[in-house]
Amino acid sequence: GENVEQHPSTLSVQEGDSAVIKCTYSDSASNYFPWYKQELGKRPQLIIDIRSNVGEKKDQRIAVTLNKTAKHFSLHITETQPEDSAVYFCAATRGGLTGGGNKLTFGTGTQLKVEL
């Protein structure tokens, strides 16, 4: 089955700096890669996603890149703010009728701390 590795497990940055979180996946048939932000005691919230037919997607301060050949994707947060502090999860899925459905395989999470 799919396996998703996520690094680093903790990341501490100064406010205004950039943060990068990296994930690798094992199933070459995976074609949808969402990123979720989870604050303490809250639900995972989708912050950005990318499908396998594009290499990069950006939404204001957040961007995701995908390298299908190397089977890795990364989350980039620029101009970090204290409210960005949370646990971030990457995930992967085949997302199709022929296999995997909407089953998400998650990485182990990255605790991001943005310090003033």
Per CB under 8 A, the list member of 24, 74, 93, 110 interacting with another protein is 93
**Judging by DSSP bridges, how do beta strands 110-115 and 10-14 pair with one another?**
parallel
Residue 31 binds another protein, judged by CB under 8 A? yes
Kind plus residue range of the DSSP H or E element containing 83: none
Q: What are phi and psi of 52, to 5 degrees?
A: -70, -10
Across-strand partners of 33?
Answer: 50
Residue 28 binds another protein, judged by CB under 8 A? no
Instruction: Tell me the window of 15-23, 56-64, 68-76, 104-112 that interacts with another protein (CB under 8 A).
Output: 104-112
Residue 36 binds another protein, judged by CB under 8 A? yes
Strands (E), the chain: 4-7, 10-14, 19-25, 32-38, 45-51, 56-59, 62-67, 72-77, 86-92, 105-106, 110-115
| Closest to another protein by CB, 64 or 80 | 64
Residue 80 binds another protein, judged by CB under 8 A? no
Residues of the shown chain interacting with another protein in the complex, contacts defined by CB under 8 A: 31-32, 34, 36, 42-46, 49, 51-52, 89, 91, 93-97, 100-109
